[in-house]
Amino acid sequence: MSIDAIFCVCMDPWEEPKNGQARFARQMLHAFSGRIAVAGVTNEKLPLRRWIDRPFEGKIIKFFNMGKLHQEDSIKPIIPLRVVVYYYAKISMPIIHSTCVKNIFIESPEVLFAAANYKWNSVCYRFAGVSNPVANSRYKWARLFGAFFERKMFLDLNKINVDSILASADHKAIDEVVARSKGLLNRSLIHHFPTRVDSDLFQPFSKIEERKVLNLDNDKIIIVSCGRLNWVKGWDFMLDSMVFLQKDGRDFQVIFVGDGEDRLKLFQKAKELKIEKNIFVTGFIPNGEVQSYLNAADLCVVTSHNEGWSLAMLEMLSCGKAIVSTDVSGANEMIRSGHNGFVVKERNPNLFADAISKALELKNARDVSLEIAARYSTKTLAPDLASIWNPLS
């Protein structure tokens, strides 16, 4: 194949992206189409474990289908998707490695585990976030294996002889993961590499017009949260905070843009708190609709327990919105306290509600948010990555 690198992912970049990792995969296709081949899983009926030509927005990209993977948005699979992806990657890797291209870009630990047993000319690995994904798993039993999982990841990064590591996290979080590796990660190989936002799609539009399109009440304070509905995203903390906002007499509606296995739990808790009439869940929707909800909002919130460099937050900024966030990675660099929002250090619902009230009164949040978002446009992805990893230079 006359390409420069193989991009190995744990999802299908051709599908409508439902999370930051999937959106980054599509950004890679835009930035390097014609120069990269893609190996991933898919829900489409495509030939299994062989290279094919696959159309992508008017271009042809080489694609290798490691296996069929389908996930119901609101159902937690019996077998964790990580396990399934690892199995597919393990049985596919001999074929992937047999191609003439020996430069590989890996974006998930599961693929790393499968690829580490082979020799490559050059390897780039991307941490979508540097927190321990298994220690924070939605499967409680899986959290017991968090330390083992992370140590294997560090060992395999050494084994595969990675020469560039991208970390979509702030410097503090990067230093923490290096410390956890106990010498297995070489700090000099790790590059602070923030997530990017498509500023052509996510840009400011009229709040009034977007509310008309979405049939939303102009008289309500609309607060938008984006992301999968699972415990890591902290939706329960958001609901607890809304109780304090309601006590202040605020007429609000909270819109959760996304879906997940905790949807029923969310509505059950909202009913217990007697705020169910103020809650709406969109389900997974196309990016064009996501930006409509962001633009219809008076304020956006991030209540996660941990994040990488939050793409949802960047999309909020790119629409000119003020944000109130928990103290997750990147928040302090994307939010200027008192100017375009607040970062709440404690997970205290009363303090979070108070920060929301204050953020609603900010006057110049739009300009500050747009200025910050401009630094992280997808337009900088190709030159920035090319300056780090030689195969794509």
For the four alpha carbons of 26, 27, 33 and 38, in that order, the dihedral sign comes to negative
What percent of the chain stands above pLDDT 90?
A: 81
Measured CA to CA, the distance from residue 214 to residue 143 in angstroms comes to: 39
C-alpha 7 chain-centroid distance: 18
Confidence class for position 349, pLDDT limits 50, 70, 90: very high
Q: What is the pLDDT of residue 74?
A: 61
pTM > 0.95: no
Task: Average the pLDDT over 185-210 and give the result.
Answer: 94
- Residue 81, class by beta-carbon neighbours within 10 Å (0-12 exposed, 13-18 middle, 19+ buried)? middle
Measured CA to CA, the distance from residue 53 to residue 50 in angstroms comes to: 10
CATH class of 5-196+377-392: alpha beta
β-pairing, 59-68 vs 51-56, is antiparallel
Quick check: 258 and 284 in contact, CB under 8 A? Answer: yes
β-pairing, 36-42 vs 5-8, is parallel
- Is residue 1 over pLDDT 70? no
Q: Break the chain into its structural domains and give their ranges.
A: 5-196+377-392, 207-376
Helices (H), 280-364: 287-296, 311-318, 331-334, 349-359
Q: What is the pLDDT of residue 71?
A: 66
Q: Do domains 5-196+377-392 and 207-376 have the same CATH topology?
A: yes
pLDDT for 282-338, tens place per residue?
999 988 899 999 999 999 999 999 888 899 999 999 999 999 999 998 999 999 999
Confidence class for position 112, pLDDT limits 50, 70, 90: very high
Q: What is the pLDDT of residue 92?
A: 97
> Which single residue is written with the structure tokens 């993977």?
69
Phi, psi values for residue 124, rounded to 5°: -120, 130
- Is residue 76 over pLDDT 90? no
Q: What is the pLDDT of residue 248?
A: 78
pLDDT for 150-168, tens place per residue?
999 999 999 999 999 999 9
Q: What is the pLDDT of residue 243?
A: 93
Centre a 10 Å sphere on the Cβ of residue 173 and count the other Cβ atoms it contains. Answer: 23
- The architecture in CATH of the region 207-376 reads 3-Layer(aba) Sandwich (3.40)
Q: What is the pLDDT of residue 247?
A: 83
**Mean per-residue pLDDT of the chain:** 93
What percent of the chain stands above pLDDT 70?
A: 98
Confidence class for position 72, pLDDT limits 50, 70, 90: low
Phi, psi values for residue 91, rounded to 5°: -80, -15
Type of residue at 292: S
